[in-house]
Chains A and B, each alone.
Chain A
Amino acid sequence: MDDYKFLFKVVLVGNAGVGKTCLVRRFTQGLFPPGQGATIGVDFMIKTVEVGNEKVKLQIWDTAGQERFRSITQSYYRSAHALILVYDISSQPTFDCLPDWLREIEEYASNKVLRILVGNKIDREDREIPADVGEEFAERHNMYYLETSAKESDNVEKLFMQIAEDLMKQARTRDLPRYDSNNQTLDGKTSTISDSSCCSRLQ
């Protein structure tokens, strides 16, 4: 196993077409995929980043916005350390749906989860949601706020790095389970997490 100090699970949610997959691919592969199709099911990947001198692994889960393509909807919220809720600044309906997404988050996610609101596609000229409206919404719901462009690579790196740093700070203050690959109890800790994610309802 490679050496890393922290492992965090980051989940992206939001309406179809807001650019979740493009944000992830920009961050993990450094590209803007032409003709990106709708996500079906859930895609997941690992990206290792460095914060300070420490290696942090981000486990990124990119979910489907379209209802009919969504699966394992509830379980992926449960063990998330950070949730990125994305809307498209050029599309009022994607913003109007945010309360629905929040309800789902409240219902399934841990209350300690780090929540970030992202207004994507700022490269577009046909903005419908002014930045301060997004920011005000985020503040009201106790979320971080960031505007990005997956296309122009604006703020994408910053978004994920910020999350990594923040989660690390939280982990240091023992608010989060800590993964340490040199530590014999890794397995035990990992399964603690998956226990709470998959079995609590059954037991």
Chain B
Amino acid sequence: MRRHMLVGGAARRLIGPFLGSPEGRPFPPNNNNNPFERSLRQLSGAGALPQLTKDRYPQVKRRDFAELNEKHLGYFKNLLGENRVITDKDECQGFNIDWLKSVRGYSQCILKPKTTQEVSEILKFCNDNRIAVCPQGGNTGLVGGSVPVFDEVVLWTGLMNDIISLDENSGVLVCQSGCILENLENFADERDLMIPLDLGAKGSCHIGGNISTNAGGLRLLRYGNLHGSVLGVEAVKADGEVIDCTSALKKDNTGYHLKHLFIGSEGTLGVVTKVAIQCPPKPRALNVAFLGLESFDDVLACLRQAKRQLGEILSSCELIDNPSLDAVTSHLNLKSPISVYPFYMLIETHGSSCDHDEEKMHGFLESCMSDGLVRDGTTTNEIGKMKAIWELRESITEGLLHDGYVFKYDISLPTREFYSLVPVMRERVKDAVRVCGYGHLGDGNIHLQVTLKEFNEEVLRIIEPFIYEYTAKLRGSVSAEHGVGFRKPKYIHYSKSPGAINLMKQLKVMMDPKGILNPYKVIP
């Protein structure tokens, strides 16, 4: 399977703490040739810094939190030791800028706890002293939620990377929240299991970040979302109290299901410190097909066929339009295995018997061809080629960054309307370098992207709020899987009722009365 090939044997190093790079960058040492890692280094090396958030968004005012002083720093250093409190300006930089380089805070203090106890003491102190805190994992979030807006202290989970246990009977893995997703994948893989979550950022993102954003990813279609596969969570509330919901049971209806509060709340209700996640058995048979299609109607028909004919083995069904693929082939020098079409589909199967799956795949492809849906394509179960095909899909986010500035929208729409926004937007934003759409077709979740040479306020006003109104009209979601973060609080009313938003506010006040946890984010 694909993740075999990315890293060989790295998981062995994982038993016991897996330390971050010596310079204390928020990114893990490069132990593979994941394209994602490449881009992180390129990005951090590249010159131009994004404008400070406080200057780009002057309407957002710093709330009445304490300014960090020597006494505060003294407390942190006493608690964590000098090495785990970063105050050097250059070292802080990486923690202040998001992956998309769309926002920049000016925090002068990065804290690197190793244990739940340390997180608890940090939060208690911050709460008592009204110090605002921004929890950060792999800093791959795409809505500006993972970096400070002003000078919030960054609580980085990267040193909380112990894998605590794996029950090979139940498949339940328990670990600290700072484990990098790919390392968990390798660890599970060696034990014939898999992590039910996979996404392009896996080389950097932390499982705690995934849980806090309720990340969806490439196989949600098959393995469901984290509300199902996360069995338990341990989190620390703003006042430092540790809430232990790490039941590793599949079934446990004793009272309210509190763990769900921490899944997808983006660090506004507590800091996730520990996770119990259910790992399904690793599939024995994998097949990937990459198809070229002429129209979105053909895409829809092909999706229906895939569901019908591949049914229980279908594990991923992704759509890529031609401009999206072009971002990868022209900027990143990857090669498409087929010729140029307006649409491409990437279809993957996970099953338990090679012959059986191959026959199904073949039957599916043959009927798509016979119906004239698929013009050109390739299918394989060879590891290297499957990886190369997946790389095309997973590198789109990175490829688009090379256009300049990217406006990213992550929208759920009824499947019929999945692609309808793209041509509409292309018509509206005439000056765009590129308007494209790709994403999780099987889940009705499209990533619509508008790229410009550089950020432009006017273009932003052409896109927003139009795009949200359009989505609301179709009863879609204005944020399907990336969350709300800093960029979207004022738009959640397009997808949430006033009553629901009100209850969110009440929960926030109850769990974090002083509002120190990830302020200016999520709650409108």
Contacts and interface: CB of A to CB of B under 8 A. Distances in A.
A79 interface: yes
Contacts of B379: 41-42, 44, 71-72
Interface string B287-298: 100000000000
A125 interface: no
Interface string A182-203: 0000000011011001110110
A44 B367 contact: no
Interface string B36-49: 00000000000000
A10 to B, nearest CB: 12
Interface in A146-188: 179
A83 interface: no
Interface string B360-398: 111101110111101111111110110000000000000
B417 interface: no
A44 B382 contact: no
B359 interface: yes
A1 to B, nearest CB: 5
B366 A194 contact: yes
Contacts of B369: 44, 46, 59
B372 to A, nearest CB: 5
A71 B287 contact: yes
A72 B377 contact: no
B59 interface: no
B348 interface: no
Interface in A68-91: 68-69, 71-72, 74-76, 79
Interface string B307-333: 000000000000000000000000000
B339 interface: yes
Given A69-B382, A71-B382, A46 B363 contact: no
A132 interface: no
B162 interface: no
Contacts of A193: 366, 370
A181 to B, nearest CB: 8
Given A44-B377, A45-B377, A71-B287, A198 B360 contact: yes
B151 interface: no
A198 B385 contact: no
Contacts of A69: 380, 382
Contacts of A72: 358-359, 361-362, 379
Interface in A43-78: 43-46, 57, 59, 68-69, 71-72, 74-76
A1 B371 contact: yes
Nearest to A69: B382
A106 B385 CA distance: 30
Given A45-B375, A190-B367, A75 B339 contact: no
A72 B378 CA distance: 12
A202 to B, nearest CB: 8
A43 B356 CA distance: 20
B395 to A, nearest CB: 19
B362 A198 contact: yes
Interface string B105-142: 00000000000000000000000000000000000000
Given A68-B382, A75-B358, A79-B366, A190 B339 contact: no
A17 to B, nearest CB: 17
A68 to B, nearest CB: 7
Interface string A1-39: 110000101000000000000000000010000000000
A41 B339 contact: no
A40 interface: yes
Contacts of A29: 339
Contacts of A41: 378-382, 385
A106 to B, nearest CB: 20
B380 A40 contact: yes
Interface in B416-455: none
A74 B372 CA distance: 23
Nearest to B292: A45
- Most chain A beta carbons < 10 A, residue from B339, B365, B370: B370
A199 to B, nearest CB: 8
Contacts of A190: 367, 370-371
A9 B366 contact: yes
A2 B372 contact: yes
Contacts of A40: 380, 382, 384-385
Contacts of B359: 72, 74-75, 197-199, 201
A75 B338 CA distance: 22
A109 B349 CA distance: 26
B362 A75 contact: yes
Contacts of B385: 40-41
A166 B236 CA distance: 74
A194 B367 contact: yes
Contacts of A9: 366
B376 A46 contact: yes
Interface centre among B337, B338, B367, B375 (most CB of A within 10 A): B367
Nearest to A44: B377
Contacts of A57: 372
Given A40-B385, A41-B382, A68-B382, A75 B363 contact: yes
Contacts of B362: 72, 75-76, 197-198
Contacts of A75: 358-359, 362-363
Q: Which of B359, B361, B375, B385 is the most central at the interface, judged by chain A CB atoms within 10 Å of its CB?
A: B359
A50 B14 CA distance: 62
Given A45-B375, A46-B376, 18 more contacts: A1-B372, A43-B376, A44-B379, A46-B369, A46-B372, A57-B372, A59-B370, A71-B379, A71-B381, A72-B361, A75-B358, A190-B367, A190-B371, A191-B367, A194-B367, A194-B370, A198-B362, A199-B363
5 contacts: A1-B371, A40-B382, A75-B363, A191-B367, A193-B366
CB-CB nearest 5 A-B residue pairs: A41-B380, A198-B363, A72-B358, A75-B362, A40-B385
